């Protein structure tokens, strides 16, 4: 059965679909020895010889899915040229082609998915599927009714208007910080921190507590577990074309 090349490359665990499209456009992919530059090109992996940078695609790996409770101090990449600790270091078994689904910055903790399923990753990160993420933050500054209205209605950042967010204030900590929960479906770089900065508040602690239907219930900081079949099916139900 013929499929788009970027889907085949992603499923083989070489790269995400978006990265695979870049590889194709750069002339790094061949089909039966012929360079292909059009991302929409289709091929049948059962009969065609597909190669990236001259190397045939590896046989498809079995799909693996991990839910990690990321601590602060780890970066959400597979490797780091500066030798910093990465989330891959926290997996009980090192998987060469497992990638984080999105990122949490080094000082943000909480729920992070890791998988070698490029198709699911692409869907969960695509803005049209509106996958919800919930964060718990401790912020310095005053969350006035005007500030809350801006957060809930959308506000202007350097990269454009944000979508409306759900915001719930729980109170004030002993340190005088505002304890607040925010849910959004976008995934811009450092978005939660920048949204609070835009209303005059400074995020002192940030933790992602929910991704789609998944939570950290029963999972200690720094620990991970495989997803259940029901959880995987639930994630796929969010990103199926309707």
Residues marked active site are found at 105
Element housing 43 (H / E): strand 42-44
Cα separations in angstroms, 34 against 21, 50, 181: 16, 9, 52
Beta carbons of 92 and 101 less than 8 angstroms apart: no
Unique residue bearing structure tokens 């049209």:
128
The tokens for 60 are: 């498809």
Q: How many CB atoms lie within 10 A of CB 46?
A: 7
Distances (CA, A) of 181 to 72, 157, 205: 19, 20, 12
Tokens at 95, concatenated: 């998987």
Burial of 127 (0-12, 13-18, 19+ CB in 10 A): exposed
φ, ψ (nearest 5 deg) of residue 107: -95, 5
């Amino acid at each position: 059965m013929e499929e788009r090349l970027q889907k085949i490359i992603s499923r083989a665990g070489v790269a995400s679909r978006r990265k695979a499209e870049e590889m194709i456009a750069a002339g790094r992919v061949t089909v039966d020895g012929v360079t292909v530059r059009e991302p929409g090109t289709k091929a049948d992996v059962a009969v065609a010889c597909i190669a990236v940078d001259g190397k045939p695609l590896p046989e498809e790996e079995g799909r693996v899915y991990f839910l990690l409770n990321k601590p602060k101090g780890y970066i959400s990449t597979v490797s780091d040229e500066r030798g910093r600790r990465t989330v891959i270091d926290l997996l009980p078994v090192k998987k060469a082609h497992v990638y984080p689904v999105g990122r949490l910055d080094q000082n943000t903790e909480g729920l992070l998915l890791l998988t070698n399923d490029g198709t699911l990753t692409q869907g969960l990160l695509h803005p049209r599927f509106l996958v919800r993420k919930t964060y718990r933050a401790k912020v310095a500054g005053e969350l006035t009714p005007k500030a809350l209205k801006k957060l809930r209605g959308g506000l202007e950042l350097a990269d454009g208007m944000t979508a409306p967010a759900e915001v719930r204030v729980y109170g004030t900590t002993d340190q005088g910080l505002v304890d607040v929960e925010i849910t959004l479906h976008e995934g811009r770089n450092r978005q939660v921190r920048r949204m609070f900065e835009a209303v005059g508040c400074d995020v002192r602690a940030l933790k992602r507590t929910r991704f789609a239907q998944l939570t950290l219930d029963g999972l200690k900081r720094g620990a991970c577990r495989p997803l259940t079949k029901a959880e995987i099916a639930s994630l796929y139900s969010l990103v199926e074309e309707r």
